[in-house]
């Protein structure tokens, strides 16, 4: 039976965003928001799959490396698991703008996760800090909460992308 899930953006939701135009290049630059562990613990207690979907164009730009991103995600998921609130899956778009079907707000990563984990997107939640995340939620028919500095706010979705 299809299940609802929680989708999390990474930078600005799980960890503090790097400055505009910069990328988290290694684990020493990765700073968790303390509140994320409470959020994920709540979702995990409800048996909701918890799926990270992150744009990392810095890989295509040569500003960071796939191996470094993989290492960050190994350590990041390890930290969640150690705290008893494991992340179900992590999807990364390493591509440039307009060169793939997965760079948010394009739905590629969510659709792959939907098939892999048999998810009901209409009952799923996206948490993100950017309009790309909001537009992704809209395209996929998911609910959306806006994260900012480790807090959450509700935000009505527009009827169409580009309206808000």
DSSP 88-107: -EEEEE-PPTTS-S-STTSS
The residues carrying an active-site annotation are: 9, 11
17-51 CB burial, b ≥16 within 10 A, e <16? bbeeeebbbeeeebeebeebbebbeebbeeebbbb
In whole angstroms, what is the distance from residue 80 CA to residue 25 CA?
A: 20
55 or 124: CB nearest Zn ion: 55
Token duo for residue 134: 């909001």
Name which of Zn ion, Mg ion, none residue 12 binds, using a CB cut-off of 5 to 8 Å depending on partner kind. Answer: Mg ion
Q: Which of 51, 102, 127, 137 binds Zn ion (CB under 5 A)?
A: 102
Q: Which of 4, 5, 6, 9 binds Mg ion (CB under 5 A)?
A: 9
- Which residues ranging from 107 to 136 are in contact with Zn ion (CB under 5 A)? none
Q: Which of 112, 129, 131, 143 binds Mg ion (CB under 5 A)?
A: 129
Strand-pair partners of 128: 146
Taking CB under 5 A as the binding criterion, the range among 9-17, 63-71, 85-93, 135-143 that sits at the site for Zn ion is: 85-93
| 12 binds Mg ion per the rule CB under 5 A | yes
Interface residues with Zn ion (CB under 5 A)?
A: 93, 95, 100, 102-103
């Amino acid at each position: 039976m299809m299940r609802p899930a929680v989708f999390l953006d990474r930078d600005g939701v799980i960890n503090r965003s790097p400055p505009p135009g910069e990328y988290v290049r290694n684990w020493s630059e990765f700073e968790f928001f303390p509140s994320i562990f409470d959020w994920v613990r709540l979702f995990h207690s409800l048996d909701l799959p918890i799926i990270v979907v992150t744009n990392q164009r810095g890989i295509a730009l040569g500003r960071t490396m796939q191996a470094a991103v993989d290492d960050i995600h190994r350590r990041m998921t390890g930290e969640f698991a150690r705290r008893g609130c494991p992340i179900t899956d992590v999807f990364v778009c390493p591509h440039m703008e307009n060169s793939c079907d997965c760079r948010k707000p394009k739905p590629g990563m969510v659709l792959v996760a939907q098939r892999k984990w048999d998810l009901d997107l209409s009952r799923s939640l996206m948490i993100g800090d950017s309009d790309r995340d909001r537009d992704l939620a809209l395209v996929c028919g998911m609910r959306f909460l806006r994260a900012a500095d480790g807090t959450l706010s509700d935000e009505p979705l527009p009827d169409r992308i580009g309206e808000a």
